[in-house]
Structure 1
Amino acid sequence: MSTLVYHGAADIVRKPLASYGRPDLDFGQGFYVTTLRSQAERWAQIVNLRLLRGTPYLNIYEIDMERIRQVYRCLHFETYNRDWLDFIVHSRKGLKPWQEYDFVEGGIANDRVVDTVESYIAGTMPAEIALGQLAQHQPNNQMCLLNQRLIDECLHFKECLPLSISQKGGKL
């Protein structure tokens, strides 16, 4: 069974690459998608404004989650918890905890929670307080596809929609 997922970008992305992104992102160097269309649309606006492009795009794919769970090494974070926090911190510090996985899913360290994460990384906030603050937020959704074979086998481009240009970009 396929699930629709979205990737907001300044370009049409028919053939995603796992190795294209930066290695210090939340879940590592991979291709990021989400089940939340509005989140991908906001991200497309943000990226488009950063790159000063003409049109943001919503790339739409079908993903075979059943095959991913059966064949590939997966990690799923249900909540903003200590494991999630440590994973994000290690990724941002360049320790690459994602290297042992093909697929990682969980919440984004976005503008709702990034101050807490950054304070924890800087050592100005103990883990217990950071986790208490994170517990007040419902995680959104991001999936990081870290393996090119997984992308080629399990992610299928469906269509791409141009979005109207927003001056705000919005919050994730």
Structure 2
Amino acid sequence: MKLYHGSNVKVENINLSMSRPAKDFGRAFYLSAEIEQAKEMAQFKVETFGGDVVVNVFEFDTSVLEELKVLHFDRYSEEWAKFVLANRNSSETLHDYDVVFGPIANDKIGRQIFNLQAGYIDFPTFIKRIQYPEGITFQWAFCTERAVKHLHSL
């Protein structure tokens, strides 16, 4: 399967220590099966950090998922939202999964976390507000070196 990573630089070697913490599924190398999603992320990174729009393409043999510890969310759910909330609130790795697959949270999640923690909204409202407004879009998070070694740059 082809997976895409949107960036402002060409990724020659995946270095998990360069990944930012406090993301949806924790510190990881994030990819999408949708090239348009990767282009949007690349554009965001260019607007934030400068550089050029780069969509890095990787091949991933999904048969190796049987060898890896995988967490799979197939839809927005309370379990997904709690996992995202915990990861967004921590600079530490909170799990030992090699790969996490699931929906992308809305870009405005920071505001919704504040609203939830301040008591302005309840958890069901939080779940609704952190869903991507254009419809569900999925992401792959490669969280360990064990998983990353199965990504092959094209």
SS of the aligned residue for 1:99 comes to coil
Q: Is 1:26–1:88's contact at 8 Å kept on the other side of the alignment?
A: yes
1:79 matched to 2:89? The reply is no
- Correspondence 1:4-153 to 2 at 5 A: 4-53=2-51, 55-67=52-64, 69-94=65-90, 96=92, 98-111=94-107, 116-132=112-128, 138-152=135-149
d(CA) in 1 for partners of 2:146, 2:46: 28
Distance 1:149 1:131, change over 3 A: closer
User: In structure 2, do the counterparts of structure 1 residues 116 and 79 end up closer, same or farther at CA, with 3 Å as the change threshold?
Assistant: farther
Q: Per the alignment, in what secondary structure is the counterpart of residue 6 of structure 2?
A: strand
Preserved CA contact (<8 Å) 1:75 1:105: yes
Worse-matched range after superposition: 14-23 or 131-140: 131-140
Equivalent residues, number: 153
- Structure 2, unaligned runs of 5 or more: none
Query: Offset of 1:145 from its aligned partner?
Result: 0.3
Q: Quick one: percent identity of the two aligned structures?
A: 26
Unaligned segments of structure 1, at least 5 residues: 159-172
Alpha-carbon distance, 1:114 to partner: 6.1
| Shift >4 Å, 4+ stretches | 95-98, 112-118, 132-137
Spell out, residue by residue over 1:23-66, the C-alpha distance to the aligned partner (whole angstroms, 9 max, x if none): 2111111111011110100110110111122x210101111122
CA radius of gyration, larger in: 1
* In structure 1, distance between residues paired with 2:102 and 2:92: 16
